[in-house]
Amino acid sequence: MMSQPKTKKETQDLFELYRQMLLIRRFEEASAKAYSMGKIGGFCHLYIGQEAVGVGAISALEEKDYIVSTYRDHGHALARGLEPKSLMAELFGKRTGIVAGNGGSMHFFDKKKNFMGGHGIVGGHISLAAGIAYASKYREDQAVTLCFFGEGAANIGSFHEGMNLAAIWKLPLVMICENNHYAMGTPEYRALSVKDVSVRAAAYDIARDHIEGDEVRKVRDHVKVAVERARRGEGPTLMEISTYRFRGHSMSDPAKYRTKEELDKYKQGDPLIKAEKDLIGSGWAQEEISKLDETIAKQIEEAVDFAEKSEEPPLGWLYKHVYAENM
């Protein structure tokens, strides 16, 4: 029996998820533009193409839950509800940034939102996530830790250390491998001994899951199962969510290691385009979607303006407030 088409009321949640994905897309596009103009320095890794993973996964969490991210952390931070103005200011290195301009692109952090940082060391944050989950279990606060990492990190020692301890102690930890199929410029088949990272869960006798990351509600529903399992005290889950980044590894990467045909193929499965089609097919008017885009465009424009007009940290500020006080 064929399922009935969804109505506008039944897809209200999809509209909200689409709003979050669109916010990330427009934020990243603005970041790319600012970087190319020399307004952002250092490393800058964009989340364009992977929005359904971060938004879907984080929407399965409660406010008390923790998130540990990678250096590609913009999308995760926005999905968690961090303010676009303070995030953009951080990219610009301003005092009004989320960590006062000290962290930059790779190190967003907000304790109030239990967003426990973006981390620049590949795989190094996985053991940290296990430690946060251990603290939750010790305190019996029923919080779950969600840890994102790339497939390249699945070969790092701390990945296996974190997995082993999480399994032994049945920690409330959900580990999500965002497999975008390239560890920097190295295709997965050259670096991974398995085609699906989640099968490595068998070595630690924990739950696993594998899905495509092109539909945001599918991601949410699968991650929710793992989160609820962890909250019940049934231990961690290792998930692989297959996705694709439409830009290079970072802003300095021209991505010449992949073909235009490959990129075009994946762009046809753009999660934003899929969500928009589902919304229109459920009764949402194109005008409503266009108005949302206009609202978000204005929000991002205001964030860039805020960042540009914010005060620069004074010379010596980083040394005085970070290094000197800890000597």
190: number of Cβ within 10 Å: 8
Return the percent helix, strand and coil in the chain, to nearest 5: 50, 10, 40
Checking if the pLDDT of 127 tops 80, the result is: yes
User: 34-48 pLDDT, tens per residue?
Assistant: 999 999 999 999 999
Percent of the chain residues topping a pLDDT of 70: 95
Cα 163 from Cα 30, distance rounded (Å):
37
User: 269-298 pLDDT, tens per residue?
Assistant: 999 999 999 999 999 999 999 999 999 999
Cα 114 from Cα 275, distance rounded (Å):
28
Residue 37: both structure tokens together: 């103009």
User: 8-24 pLDDT, tens per residue?
Assistant: 888 999 999 999 999 99
Cα 81 from Cα 115, distance rounded (Å):
10
pLDDT category of residue 313 using cuts at 50, 70 and 90: confident
User: What one-character-per-residue DSSP string does 296-319 give?
Assistant: HHHHHHHHHHHHHHSPPPPTTHHI
Cα 118 from Cα 115, distance rounded (Å):
8
Q: What is the CATH number of domain 43-307?
A: 3.40.50.970
pLDDT category of residue 6 using cuts at 50, 70 and 90: confident
pLDDT category of residue 155 using cuts at 50, 70 and 90: very high
User: 168-212 pLDDT, tens per residue?
Assistant: 999 999 999 999 999 999 999 999 999 999 999 999 999 999 999
Cα 241 from Cα 212, distance rounded (Å):
6
Instruction: Tell me the HSE value of 251 on the side-chain side, using a 13 A CA sphere.
Output: 23
Cα 27 from Cα 31, distance rounded (Å):
6
pLDDT category of residue 325 using cuts at 50, 70 and 90: low
What is residue 246's three-state secondary structure?
coil
pLDDT category of residue 7 using cuts at 50, 70 and 90: confident
Question: What is the pLDDT at residue 322?
Answer: 57
pLDDT category of residue 327 using cuts at 50, 70 and 90: very low
pLDDT category of residue 314 using cuts at 50, 70 and 90: confident
CA-closest candidate to residue 25, choices 324, 275, 232, 281:
275
The dihedrals phi and psi of 35, each to the nearest 5 degrees, come to -65, -45
**How confident is the prediction for the chain on average, in pLDDT?**
94
Cα 248 from Cα 257, distance rounded (Å):
10
Residue 171: both structure tokens together: 């920690």
CA 143 to the chain's CA centroid = 19
Q: What is this structure's pTM?
A: 0.94
Question: What is the pLDDT at residue 323?
Answer: 54
Question: What is the pLDDT at residue 2?
Answer: 42
